[in-house]
Chains A and B, each alone.
Chain A
Amino acid sequence: MPSLSARRTRQRLAADAALLVVAAAFAVPLVWLLSASVDGAAGLRVRLPASPTGDNFAAVLTDEITFTPMLNSLLLCGGATLLTVVCAALAAYPLSRYRSRLTRPYLMGVLFATCLPMTAIMVPVYGLFVRINLIDTVYGTALFLAAAQLPFAIWLMKNFMDGVPTVLEEAAWTDGAGRLQALVRVILPLMGPGLTVVTIYSFIMMWGNFFVPFMLLLSPGKLPASVSIFTFFGTYGQVAYGQLAAFSILYSTPVVLLYALIARRLGGGFALGGAVKG
């Protein structure tokens, strides 16, 4: 019978090999993204560029293709994220601190809304927005994005707030601080990491959202990057694949960096998975 450590080593090698195969399969599309972006004559398949060039990036770095849509995305998602985080922080406070018969049903409702397939309500939302003249407005779209993200944000925020001991805000009350003051000055700073997670996660979700702005915004000048990339390159014909890859990288970089930021903040672990499970 082989020793325990020999068995461990063999198991490790087998696991390594299996994982590398899966990782290679997952990596292929990503490799295409990177190689095509610096390939002057990029096609649909992965290949080493003959002579790496920055031409694709230079070609898409124009107002029309990159800067305007990215700015639109920033305004739309930044505004909606701000609204989400402020509303969620305010709502989480009474839900976390006071006991009432309504707390539990409210949280259940929030959790229920978290799970609903938002895609399904986009047709009525479109109809509603046409009726109340919010269609093709950035603030209307931001309001909907915020509302759609709010249930999960409230849920996360409440869980993070539960982790802050009440002793400190009681001390603040004794010193004459009001509820809002205690929330802003004492609780929110203490739940800094949690607040960052909610903010960044909401922003990432909105930045990548295609369907909502696709439905609610019509003017080409207002479209965020998620939709403009589709209108520019979505009509498959004579597509400049190198430029598509270059723009995809530019558009994805902010969320990848933001994710890396929260991932490190969580010590490489994953708090959202835990938070989702309660």
Chain B
Amino acid sequence: MRAVPGSRTARWLPLAPATTLLLLFLAGPIAYCVYLAFTDMQLTGQASASFVGFANFRRAFGDPDFRNAVGMTLVFTVVSSLVGQNSLGFALAALMRRASKAVRTAVGTVVVAAWVLPEIVAAFLLYTFFNRRGTLDAILDWLHLPTQNWLFTLPILAVSFANVWRGTAFSMLVYAAALDGIPQDVTEAAEVDGARGLRRFWHVTLPMIRRSVGTNLMLNTLQTLSVFGLIWAMTRGGPGNRSETLPVFMYDQAFLKALIGYGTAVALLLLLVGAGFSLVYLRLMREEM
């Protein structure tokens, strides 16, 4: 028998401070976000906001800049999260199992260092790397390959690569843990059956780590969807709007163009996409809880 001290309600009292904070500063703003998205609130004249129904959303879908931002967000997410971080992270984790210890340590340190550095420092570093007078063009020049102003010609790819540089460590660590979790006898049985290379990856490894793949994809995508500082510091969404993802577009509309209501409607759409991914992630987790 457990002699639990305190009454039933008192037991749950420790939840109060956290719950209060979450309600005031997370649930509150989300509710306010839903409200604002249906008004014509502007930075100037806060008091005169009125209800405008779905006007902000209709405006968004008819706005070529908004559609551009959706496209940019898709490119940014697919290139940097799905393809870049995820595949490179897996490749690194898989290769590291075969590499010698010294190389493993060196690679692990460098990749994780890129991840640990603050976002804004990473942005500055990659800005100098991709700059017209930066290291990438210096290397290309040395190899007698054509150089260009990457931040001007391919800004969305430059910021995507920056995000790969910054975020690959997470996938690498998740996959390293997942590959460690594959029982030895499974690997050995596959070896005896002569399953190697791609076939082994597809039929043996992938099914064993598929939950990790799902989790990792979800978390990477959600993280990538909310990247702002990296892009803002590297290109400010430009030149023009050629690297303007949804968070940058939202900020631009709400603060630089003073359209809080419209910016919030965009934010709400972003939040809904994020919520959709979160629900998928929860389903993946549910099996374990």
Indicate the member of B117, B131, B168, B267 with the most A CB atoms within 10 Å: B117
| Cβ-neighbour of B219 out of A115, A143, A204, A230 (below 8 A) | A115
Q: Could you tell me the distance between the alpha carbons of A83 and B17 in the complex, rounded to whole angstroms?
A: 10
Residues of A within 8 A of B114 (CB): 26, 29-30
Size band of the interface chain A makes with B: 35 or more
Closest B residue to A144 by CB, please name it: B25
- In chain A, positions 133-185 with a C-beta closer than 8 Å to chain B are 143-144, 146-148, 150-151, 154, 166, 170, 173-174, 178-180, 183
Q: Which residues of B contact A221 (CB under 8 A)?
A: none
**In the complex, what residue of chain B is closest to A110 when comparing beta carbons?**
B22
Closest B residue, CB atoms, query A143 = B25
B275 CB → nearest A CB, Å:
7
Pick the interface stretch among B54-62, B78-86, B152-160, B210-218.
B210-218
Are A124 and B264 in contact, with the CB atoms below 8 A? Answer: yes
CB pair B2–A170 under 8 Å, yes or no, is yes
User: A116 contacts the other chain (Cβ, under 8 Å)?
Assistant: yes
Query: A12-30 toward B: CB 8 Å interface, digit per residue (1/0)?
Result: 1011101110110011111
B residues less than 8 Å from A12 (CB atoms): 98-100
* A214 surroundings in chain B (CB, below 8 A): 229
B215-248 near A? 1/0 per residue, CB < 8 Å: 1001100100111110011000000000000010
Complex alpha-carbon distance, A118 and B271, angstroms: 8
Least CB distance from A256 to B in Å reads 6
A66 to chain B, nearest CB (A): 14
Q: Which residue of A lies closest to B88 (CB)?
A: A22
A212 CA / B168 CA spacing, docked (Å): 24
Asked if A51 is at the interface (CB within 8 A of a chain B CB), the reply is no
Q: Which residues of chain A from 255 to 273 have a CB within 8 Å of any chain B CB?
A: 255-256, 259, 263, 269-270, 272-273
**Do A121 and B278 have beta carbons less than 8 Å apart?**
no
Q: Is the CB of B15 within 8 A of A91?
A: yes
Contact A127 B32 (CB under 8 A): yes
The CA of A69 and the CA of B116, in the complex, are separated in Å by: 20
- Interface: A93 (CB within 8 A): yes
CB distance A115 to B218 under 8 Å? yes
- Provide the bound-state CA to CA distance between A36 and B95, in Å: 32
Residue of A nearest to B134 (CB): A44
Which residues of the partner chain A approach B219 to less than 8 Å between Cβ atoms?
115, 276
Complex contact A30–B25 (CB within 8 A): no
Task: Say whether A59 faces chain B, with CB atoms less than 8 Å apart.
Answer: no
Residues of A within 8 A of B129 (CB): 28-29, 32
Interface residue count for B (Cβ, 8 Å)? 104
The residues of A that contact B133 with a CB separation of less than 8 Å are: 43-45
Q: Is A234 in contact with B233, judged by CB distance below 8 angstroms?
A: yes
- Contact yes or no, A22 B92, CB < 8 A: yes
Contact, CB under 8 Å: B88 / A88? no
Most buried by A among B99, B264, B270, B288: B99
Q: Are A259 and B278 in contact (CB under 8 A)?
A: no
Q: Are the C-beta atoms of A22 and B107 separated by less than 8 Å?
A: yes
Q: Is the CB of B21 within 8 A of A121?
A: no
A130 and B46 in contact, given A94-B12, A98-B11, A115-B222 (Cβ under 8 angstroms)? yes
If A29-B125, A111-B285, A179-B5 touch, does A15 touch B222 (CB 8 Å cutoff)? Answer: no
Which one of B10, B138, B218 has the greatest number of beta carbons of chain A within 10 Å?
A: B138
**Which 9 pairs between the two chains have the least Cβ-Cβ distance?**
A147-B25, A117-B226, A208-B118, A210-B229, A115-B278, A91-B18, A119-B226, A90-B14, A29-B125
Give me 20 A-to-B residue pairs in the complex whose CB atoms sit less than 8 angstroms apart, sorted by A's number: A26-B110, A32-B135, A33-B121, A45-B138, A46-B138, A87-B21, A90-B14, A94-B14, A113-B22, A119-B227, A121-B30, A123-B263, A124-B264, A126-B254, A143-B25, A226-B119, A226-B120, A252-B121, A259-B112, A270-B173
Please list the residues of chain B having a beta carbon within 8 angstroms of any beta carbon in chain A: 2-6, 10-12, 14-15, 17-19, 21-22, 24-26, 28-30, 32-33, 36, 41, 46, 88, 92, 95-96, 98-100, 103-104, 106-107, 110-114, 116-122, 124-129, 131, 133-135, 137-139, 165, 168, 170, 173-174, 176-177, 211-212, 215, 218-219, 222, 225-229, 232-233, 247, 250-251, 254-255, 260, 263-264, 267-268, 270-271, 274-275, 277-279, 281-282, 285, 288-289
